[in-house]
Amino acid sequence: MQDDERRWWQETTIYQVYPRSFADSDGDGLGDLVGIIDHLDHLVDLGVGTVWLSPFFDSPQADFGYDISNYCDVAPEYGTLPDAERLIDEAHSRGLKVMFDMVMNHTSDQHPWFRTSKASRSNAKADWYIWRDGRGRGGRKPPNNWRSAMEVKTAWQWSPERQQWYLASFLPFQPDLNFRNPEVKDAMFDAVRFWLRRGVDGFRLDIFGNVMKDPDFRDNPWRPHLDTGIPRFWERIYTENTDDTIQFAKELRAVADEFRSPDDPGGTERVLLGEVFGSAETLRRYIGDDDGLHLVFLFDFLTYRYDAGFFRSRIEEYERNYPAPLQPTYVLENHDRSRLIDRVGGDVRKAQTLAVLLCTLRGVPAIYQGQEIAMSNTAMRLREARDPIARTYFSWVPEAVVQRLPERLNRDEVRTPMQWTGGPNAGFTTPEAVPWLPVNENHTERNVEAQDGVDGSMLELYRALLHLRTERPSLHRGSLTLRPADPAYPDVLVYERRFGDEPERTVVAVNFGSIAATVDLNERSRPIDGATALPGSAEVEVLVATDRGLVLSGSTIQLPAHSAAVLSL
């Protein structure tokens, strides 16, 4: 990559919309594309650069759209193809980029491809999915030890029609496509082109790391460990992040690059963002030599420890593995994991501190709808879950146990309707409608309207941070230098952002501790190698502070407990 070439995705910020729960325009209790279009100005006001939409394609909705039955059409409950086209145009006219969600690894079992494939061993699509004979007498034992997403069950499903097993890495109704068949690859790349031709700026790639499995179907080795908080017993070396998947990323990249305009390659690039799991070092391989994915989610922040040491070590690791012009992609919340505010025991100060971190690090921050107003998990009974993970795997877990688990098992809890107002149904849908999931009771206080224009609210904090980021090259383009930890205040993390030789300097100070800390910006702002000491007293200006108790005197700040500040030096 050329260091001086500007590429939009390197400087962007991402906002994830979960269409079913964002805004309902027609009163059927389900969010839809017109609802999203009607609320695009919220994203502009917020100051994000890119909107990523979770899937809205044709689907039986067994996994709420992550089970696609037609990649090239819109599910009727969400709208029409012209609505999707209008959404892209309306976003573009507001200066927003648009990313869709491509689920390549699997389709719905209702997809015509799969219906044909499972009908016999000899039909035209017999080889479009991953079919194997079983082991044991009558072949009734799964072909190997590969496990499904939640680890507790085999990834193989028995098909009475074919008297064979098919692979479903995620849930049983999501059969994995066989990308070793060139026809399958062509069909999927054509679906990708279908949307690229309509102007979409890129894709978030659903469980992309699973796309190519070991051609020899070897058993994964036994090695109990935790993967972003999820217990795994086998190391997924033959099913995830294989060399062939990395190669596949490069082929997909070539497709995306077909649509880049030669007049403005950096501004018209179509971007690939992988949902992949593994160490920062492993995931770096997807980017290759700027010929693979552009971005990969780094999910460590989903399971952070709330302390300076944790974030220091992660940032160091990411800076090492994703040096500029590569960009780490940070995420604190999404539609699969607990809301951030619940991870910090409901403490808004801590959530605000993390918001500052997310929006001021070097890299691409991703924000999940509702995060900007501190939406919380909505407690729900596991036995009544709509979420297929909860239903398939966890419906037997006693409620008392569920309440004590660190990770939520029912994703419904983080997918309740967006809280726009304190009125009926939180303004998500008409007052008479029944939203597909209940609205959180706290919407009466916690909603966009109530926080709009209110100093100190989460919404105004995100707005301030995102606009600041757009205005300041040091924040959206600059380097990041971590300052050494101060032994007197080990709970404080300080870093500096600078862009080239520009005089603009941005310093971010985050206090994870429960006592106030003193940070001398000037003294400790000397470059670590000590080459050029800075002049005596710097002009310090507070750009954003999460706590009004922040005191600035000269170049020293007093940073209250659980607070963060962004300063100009």
Whose CA is closest to 330, among 353, 355, 293, 305? Answer: 355
Question: What's the gap between Cα 43 and its chain centre?
Answer: 17
471 sits in which H/E element? helix 458-471
What is the distance between the alpha carbons of residues 107 and 467, in angstroms, rounded to a whole number? Answer: 39
336's contact among Mg ion, ligand GLC, none, with CB below 5 to 8 A by partner kind, is ligand GLC
How far apart CA 411 and CA 414 sit, in angstroms, is 6
Please check whether residue 194 is in contact with residue 185, taking contact to mean a CB–CB distance below 8 angstroms: no
CA distance 536 to 523: 9
Assess contact for 144 and 219: CB atoms under 8 A: yes
| Triad 61, 184, 253: Cα angle to 5° | 90
Helices within 139-261 (DSSP H only): 182-197, 243-257
26 is a contact residue toward Mg ion (CB under 5 A): yes
CA distance 379 to 387: 13
**Contact characters 202-241, ligand GLC, x per CB under 6 A:** ----xx----------------------------------
Residue from 32, 67, 342, 496 that binds Mg ion (CB under 5 A)? 32
Angle (CA) 309-314-316 rounded to 5° is 95
Residue 155 binding ligand GLC, by CB under 6 A:
no
Nearest-CA neighbor of 270 among 104, 105, 98?
98
DSSP 227-251: ETTEEEEE--TTTSS-HHHHHHHHH
Among the listed residues 52, 170, 297, 512, the single contact to ligand GLC using CB under 6 A: 170
Pick the closest to residue 411 from 440, 380, 443 (CA basis): 380
* Nearest CB to ligand GLC, comparing residues 206 and 319: 206
The helix (H) or strand (E) run that includes residue 340 is: helix 340-343
For the bound state, the minimum distance from the C-beta of residue 489 to ligand GLC, rounded and expressed in Å, comes to 38
127 binds Mg ion, rule: CB under 5 A: no
Does residue 414 contact residue 389 with C-beta atoms inside 8 Å?
no
Residue of the chain from 58, 319, 336, 413 that contacts ligand GLC (CB under 6 A) = 336
Which of 206, 240, 275, 547 is labelled catalytic?
206
Q: Which residues contact 484 (CB under 8 A, 6 or more apart)?
A: 524, 528
Report 268-297 residues binding ligand GLC (CB under 6 A). 275
Q: Which one, 143 or 172, has the nearer CB to ligand GLC?
A: 172
Binding partner of residue 66 among ligand GLC, Mg ion, none, CB cut-off 5 to 8 Å per kind: ligand GLC
Asked if 24 interacts with Mg ion (CB under 5 A), we say: yes
- Which one of the spans 20-28, 64-72, 343-351, 374-382 is the region binding Mg ion (CB under 5 A)? 20-28
Q: For Mg ion, how many residues bind (rule: CB under 5 A)?
A: 5
The reply on whether position 319 binds ligand GLC by CB under 6 A is: no
63 binds ligand GLC, rule: CB under 6 A: yes
Q: Specify whether 258 is catalytic.
A: yes
- Answer for which of 11, 28, 85, 407 binds Mg ion (CB under 5 A) is 28
Query: From the list 14, 17, 23, 30, which residue makes contact with Mg ion (rule: CB under 5 A)?
Result: 30
**Nearer to ligand GLC by C-beta: 170 or 248?**
170
Examine the residue annotation and report whether 206 is marked as an active-site residue of this protein.
yes
> Which segment (18-26, 264-272, 388-396, 448-456) binds Mg ion by CB under 5 A?
18-26
Q: Among residues 518, 524, 521, 526, which one has the least CA distance to residue 488?
A: 518
Binding partner selected for residue 170 from ligand GLC, Mg ion, none, CB under the kind-specific 5 to 8 Å limit: ligand GLC
According to the binding rule CB under 6 A, does residue 66 interact with ligand GLC?
yes
In whole angstroms, the minimum distance from the beta carbon of 453 to ligand GLC comes to 34
Choosing from 258, 281, 307, 316, the catalytic residue is: 258
Q: Which is nearer to ligand GLC, 370 or 513 (CB)?
A: 370
Binding site for ligand GLC (CB under 6 A): 63, 66, 103, 170, 206-207, 275, 335-336
Which residues form the catalytic set? 206, 258
Binding site for Mg ion (CB under 5 A): 24, 26, 28, 30, 32
